[in-house]
């Protein structure tokens, strides 16, 4: 005897429920919630509109292969294009300058030697020994996830973004500051962790850049 439509439907529902019970989600970090505050969409829009900016501060990297710190003389971001000047006695390279866009970078050492690569992260690692998530840092440093891949956001009791989990990294927002009167608070210190790799950026100054003059 063929099973009835009702029986088949019940069997399908049982299998679906069984499959659902096998799905597990990471537990919420203690004291945090994944429910965004009411003003999150507005804040996100304001931060996304900050497309041209410059900051100064300090970069610290800790990883099994190599660790150290550098002064960020300036990090200038103009939409997807960036220029980054680092000074580090630890690297023994004086000032290192990086210029790039997603998928391409040029790196100039203090002796004037310049290298180019279509793999920005690989070139930076070869020159400094540091593994930096260059594609996502311009987003994370503004307190935003990189829209190019999946992510999860967590907020603290003060309704501030406390944590982003994305691409195997956990980005912790340790401190916020209102650097500009007409902008929302921006991260003053973030720590990005992936396994034994840890990247910390402490920002001392942040400013918006004027729009380019019309041609």
Span 161-207, pLDDT tens digits: 999 999 999 999 999 999 999 889 999 999 999 999 999 999 999 99
Residue 21 domain flag: no
Confidence of residue 13 (pLDDT cuts 50, 70, 90): very low
Residue 98 domain flag: yes
What is the per-residue pLDDT for 211? 64
24 pLDDT above the threshold of 80? no
- What pTM, to 2 d.p., does this model score? 0.83
Residue 161 domain flag: yes
Token duo for residue 161: 């973004």
What does the angle CA 128 – CA 106 – CA 94 come to, to the nearest 5 degrees? 45
| CA torsion angle 77 78 80 85 (round to 10) | -30
Confidence of residue 149 (pLDDT cuts 50, 70, 90): very high
Can you tell me the distance from the alpha carbon of 83 to that of 54, in angstroms, rounded to the nearest whole number? 9
Can you tell me the distance from the alpha carbon of 55 to that of 141, in angstroms, rounded to the nearest whole number? 10
Length of the chain: 215
Residue 82 domain flag: yes
What is the per-residue pLDDT for 15? 43
The number of distinct structural domains making up the chain is 1
**143-167: burial string, b at 16+ Cβ within 10 Å, e else:** bbbbeeeebebbbeeeeebbbbbbb
The residue ranking higher by pLDDT, 131 or 171, is: 171
Tell me the average pLDDT of the chain: 85
Residue 132 domain flag: yes
Q: Which residues form the domain of 129?
A: 40-207
Residue 75 domain flag: yes
Task: Give the range among 66-70, 99-103, 160-164, 182-186 with minimum mean pLDDT.
Answer: 66-70
Tens digit of each residue's pLDDT (9 = 90 or more) over 205-214: 999 998 654 4
Number of Cβ within 10 Å of residue 84's Cβ equals: 23
Task: Give the range among 38-47, 61-70, 156-165, 171-180 with minimum mean pLDDT.
Answer: 61-70
Confidence of residue 45 (pLDDT cuts 50, 70, 90): very high
Token duo for residue 16: 């679906």
Which one of 15-24, 45-54, 205-214 scores highest in mean pLDDT? 45-54
Residue 23 domain flag: no
41 pLDDT above the threshold of 80? yes
Confidence of residue 4 (pLDDT cuts 50, 70, 90): low
Residue 2 domain flag: no
CATH number at residue 161: 2.50.20.10
């Amino acid at each position: 005897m063929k099973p009835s439509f009702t029986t088949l439907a019940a069997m399908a529902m049982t299998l679906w429920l069984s499959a659902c019970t096998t799905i597990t989600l990471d537990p919420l970090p203690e004291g945090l919630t994944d429910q965004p505050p009411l003003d999150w969409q507005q804040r996100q829009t304001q931060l996304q509109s900050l497309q041209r900016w410059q900051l100064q501060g300090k970069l610290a990297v800790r990883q099994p292969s190599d660790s150290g710190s550098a002064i960020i003389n300036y990090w200038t971001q103009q939409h997807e294009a960036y220029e980054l000047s680092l000074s580090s006695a630890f690297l023994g390279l004086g000032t290192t300058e990086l210029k790039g866009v997603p998928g391409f970078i040029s790196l100039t050492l203090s002796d004037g030697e310049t290298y180019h690569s279509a793999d920005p992260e690989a070139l930076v690692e070869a020159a400094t020994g540091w593994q930096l998530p260059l594609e996502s840092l311009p987003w994370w440093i503004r307190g935003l996830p990189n829209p190019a891949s999946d992510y999860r956001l967590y907020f603290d009791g003060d309704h501030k973004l406390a944590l982003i989990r994305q691409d195997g990294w956990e980005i912790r927002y340790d401190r916020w500051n209102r650097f500009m009167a007409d902008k929302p608070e921006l991260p003053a210190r973030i720590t990005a962790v992936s396994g034994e790799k840890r990247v910390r950026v402490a920002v001392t100054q942040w400013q918006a850049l004027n729009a380019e003059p019309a041609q």
